[in-house]
Homo-oligomer: A and B are copies of this chain.
Amino acid sequence: MGEKSVQKRKFILETARKVFVDKGFKKVTMKDIVEACEISRGGLYLYFDNTSQIFLEVMKLESQEADDVFSDSITEDATAADILLLFLQEQKKELLRKNDTLTQAIYEFYFQNQLGKKDNILKRQFDSAVKIIEKLIETGTDNGEFYCEDCKGTARNIMFVLEGLKISAQTIGITAEAVDREILFILKSLGLEG
C-alpha cells in the first residue's frame, strides 16, 4: 500500500469516527461511511470489509491518542494526589461530553461482538487503568497523601464506579453534580477532602 492509500485509510477512519460518534455502532452502515467520506461505494471495500473492522481500527487509533494525552499529563513534580485528581477530572469531562464520545458505540460494539478475551481492547484498557491507579494510590499512601488499606481493591472499586457512571450517563443520564458527588466520595474514602 502506497503513501497515498495510507493517507486515505486514515481519512476514512477519522471520518468514520464521526459517524460512530453520531450514531453509535449498530446503526452505522457501510453506506453511511461511504457518504460521509464522499468516496465511492466500491472504494470503501478496497480498504475495509465491514463496519466491525472499521470500528476496531477507529478504536485502535483512539486509544493510542488517549494514551498520549495521559502520558503528557504526568509531569515530574506532580504529586500522586494531583495526578489522581487530574485523572478523575478527565474522566468526568469524558463522561459528560455527550456529543463527542465513542462510548456508546464501543458498548454497542462489544455487545454485538463477543470477542471473548482476545482482542478485547476495552479489557486491556480497564486492566491497565486499574494498575496505574493502584500504583498511584500506593505511591500516595507511601507519601502520606492518602490513607488506604487495600490499594488494589480501591483501585478496582474506583474503576467500577467510573464504569457505572459512564454507562449511567448513556442510559439514565447523569448531572455534573452527581459525578462530583461520586468523585468526592472516592476521595473521602482515601482520606482526602477533594
A interface residues, Cβ below 8 angstroms from B: 24, 26-27, 104, 106-108, 110-112, 116-117, 120, 122-123, 126, 150, 153-154, 156-157, 159-168, 170-173, 181-182, 185-186, 188-189
Contact = CB atoms under 8 A, between A and B. Distances in A.
Nearest to A117: B173
Contact of A173 (B108, B123, B168, B170): B123
B168 A126 contact: yes
Contacts of A166: 164, 167
Contacts of A154: 185
A14 B123 CA distance: 34
**Interface core residue of A106, A161, A181, A182 (most chain B CB under 10 Å):** A161
A96 B185 CA distance: 27
A185 B186 CA distance: 13
B164 A123 contact: no
Say how many copies of this protein the assembly contains. 4
A156 B168 contact: no
A191 to B, nearest CB: 12
Contact of A160 (B110, B168, B189): B168
Contacts of A170: 107, 110-111
A170 B123 CA distance: 11
Contacts of A157: 161, 182, 185-186
Contacts of A24: 111-112
Contacts of A126: 168, 172
A167 B104 CA distance: 12
A10 B106 CA distance: 34
